[in-house]
Structure 1
Amino acid sequence: MNQLADRFVAAVAAGDVATVTSIYADDATIWHNFDQIDQTPSENVKTLIGLHRALTNVRYEDIRRTIVDDGFYQQHVLRGTARNAELELPAALRVYVSNGRITRLEEYLDTAQVAAAMR
Structure 2
Amino acid sequence: MLAFADKFFAVVSAGDIETLKTLYHDDVAVWHNYEEHEQNKEENLETLGSIPRRYDSFDYADARCVAIAGGFLRQHVIHASRNGKKAVIPAILRVYVDEGKVRRIEEYFDRGQLTAALT
Q: Do Structure 1 and Structure 2 share a fold, with TM-score over 0.5?
A: yes
Match of 2:84 in 1: 84
Larger mean Cα displacement after TM superposition, 95-104 or 50-59: 50-59
What aligned pairs does 1:6-25 form with structure 2 within 5 A after superposition?
A: 6-25=6-25
Instruction: Give the SS at the match of 1:59.
Output: strand
Q: Deviations over 1:18-49 (max 9, x none)?
A: 12111111111110010131111110011112
Identity %: 39
Asked if the contact 2:81/2:118 (under 8 Å) is kept, the reply is no
Q: In structure 2, the residue corresponding to 1:36 is in which secondary structure?
A: coil
Q: Give the TM-score normalised by the residue count of structure 2.
A: 0.92
Structure 1's unaligned 5+ residue stretches are none
Partner of 2:47: 47
Give the AA of the match of 1:62.
D
Compute the displacement of 1:80 (Å): 2.5
1:82·1:117 contact (CA, 8 Å) conserved in 2? no
Deviation at 1:15, TM superposition (A): 1.3
Superimposed CA distance per residue, residues 35-71 of structure 1 (whole angstroms, 9 cap, x where no aligned partner): 1311111100111123221123322111111111200
Residue 118 of structure 1 and its aligned partner are, at CA, apart by: 2.4
Match of 1:68 in 2: 68
Distance in structure 1 (CA, Å) of the matches to 2:91 and 2:62? 11
Q: Give the TM-score, by structure 1 length.
A: 0.92
User: Are the equivalent residues in 1 in contact too, given 2:24–2:101 (CA < 8 A)?
Assistant: yes
Runs (4+) of structure 1 exceeding 4 A deviation are: none
Map 1:93-112 onto structure 2 (within 5 A): 93-112=93-112
